[in-house]
Amino acid sequence: MNNYFIILAAGNSTRFNSKIPKQFISYKGLMLFEHSVNKAIKSNIFDKIILVINKKHSKYLKNYKNDKVVIIYGGRERYLSSLKSLKYIQNKKPKNVYIHDAARPNFSSKLLFRIKKALKKYNAVVPFLKPINTIKIKENKKIINFDRNNIYEIQTPQCFNFKILNKLSKANNKFITDECSLFLNKNIKVNFIKGEFINRKITSENDLEFMKKTYYGIGFDVHRLVPNRKLYLGGIVIKSKLGTLGHSDGDPVLHAITDAMLGACRQGDIGQKFSDKNKKYKNIRSTILLEKVVKEIKKNNYFINNLDINIITQTPKISNYKKKIIKSIASICDIQLNKINIKGKTTEKLGLIGKEKAIACEVIVSISQYD
């Protein structure tokens, strides 16, 4: 093969409003850069993947291991990181090198193969899109029209003959935003091929918002109150003379949350998932059931936005336990405390709940999934 895939991930993400640089944030269940790594590996085009990072960001990769990936440290600017990566692989005598921005995780495998095919006739292949919006430019304090057909929105991965790119990079001492510029500055032919709309660069948090879909689920559960049973609410034990009757531990709060999450994911309901006819769920803690569902929705690239919970009971007073319940649910769902809201409600002594013979809970959950 003798092809190398270089992922530039040494930036500080100054435009991305996060304590964690965007290339290391969680996206679809993986760190952002991992999507590019996995697609490169799956293509079987490359001998090795080179991940170029800022040395001070090493802490984000403490637990990351991949035999196909070599991690090296980059420079202060993008072009210096690119130059360091080329220097690192030059002794391997690669034929071609693909250079890619870690902030573009959504390119398809088809794009890699189209680039590979186009490279047979050219020494440089670059994907691009034409803008869909009207373009105007400012010139001498005047705003003038500009023909958008003459504008190319450049993407990565870009692919080059290694020898030519290495020579041009060594001779360059100016700031550039991509390697294609080195070829154009020397009037070397570049083959521009059609890029992909999904291959947009993630620059700010708004770019992630644009890529996600949000779903909602409603959950409800009610249990009879009986003697000689513990009362579990939201995963904690509540002091009470009466407890909930149920096949499991009878926690109406966690059951309603579980039901809401399954509904939001269009995965049926808690009765289908954990049937009360199955002996293995007899007296099982509801924390275990909810943990299973949370694990599954994360595996399918969903994340929880927020939970709004109504606990409907005449007694006990929920306000006395609200903080503990929120802390318990946050731990089970692996979310922040401020994503959970709990309200204690009564039925004004009406019905079974009002007569302290039952307790109920209703939940609305919002979850999102990236396209």
| % residues pLDDT > 90 (the chain) | 72
| Banded model confidence at residue 371, pLDDT cuts 50, 70, 90 | low
Specify the CATH number for 212-370; select among 3.40.50.970, 3.30.43.10, 2.30.42.10, 3.30.1330.50.
Answer: 3.30.1330.50
pLDDT at 283 over 80: no
| Banded model confidence at residue 143, pLDDT cuts 50, 70, 90 | very high
pLDDT at 5 over 90: yes
Q: Specify whether domain 3-210 bears CATH 3.30.1490.20.
A: no
**What's the confidence (pLDDT) of residue 271?**
85
Across the chain, mean pLDDT equals 92
Helix count and strand count (H, E) for the chain: 11, 19
How many residues are given for the chain? 371
Mean pLDDT of all residues in 335-343:
94
| Banded model confidence at residue 76, pLDDT cuts 50, 70, 90 | confident
Where are the strands (E) in the chain, listed by range? 3-9, 26-27, 30-31, 48-53, 69-73, 96-101, 124-129, 135-139, 142-146, 153-154, 158-161, 191-194, 212-227, 231-233, 236-238, 242-244, 302-312, 340-345, 358-370
Angle between helices 252-264 and 286-299 (to 10 degrees): 20
**What's the confidence (pLDDT) of residue 217?**
97
| Banded model confidence at residue 155, pLDDT cuts 50, 70, 90 | very high
**What's the confidence (pLDDT) of residue 301?**
77
- Specify the higher pLDDT residue, 323 or 141: 323
Mean pLDDT of all residues in 77-95:
93
**What's the confidence (pLDDT) of residue 176?**
87
Q: Are 260 and 363 in contact (CB under 8 A)?
A: yes
For residue 165, with 0-12 CB atoms within 10 Å meaning exposed, 13-18 middle and 19 or more buried, which class applies?
buried
**What's the confidence (pLDDT) of residue 277?**
83
pLDDT tens digits for range 173-189? 788 889 999 999 999 99
What 3-state class would DSSP assign to 349?
Answer: coil
Domain chopping of the chain, boundaries = 3-210, 212-370
What pTM, to 2 d.p., does this model score? Answer: 0.68
pLDDT tens digits for range 13-56? 888 878 889 999 888 778 999 999 999 999 999 999 999 999 99
pLDDT tens digits for range 214-261? 999 999 999 999 999 999 999 999 999 999 998 899 999 999 999 999
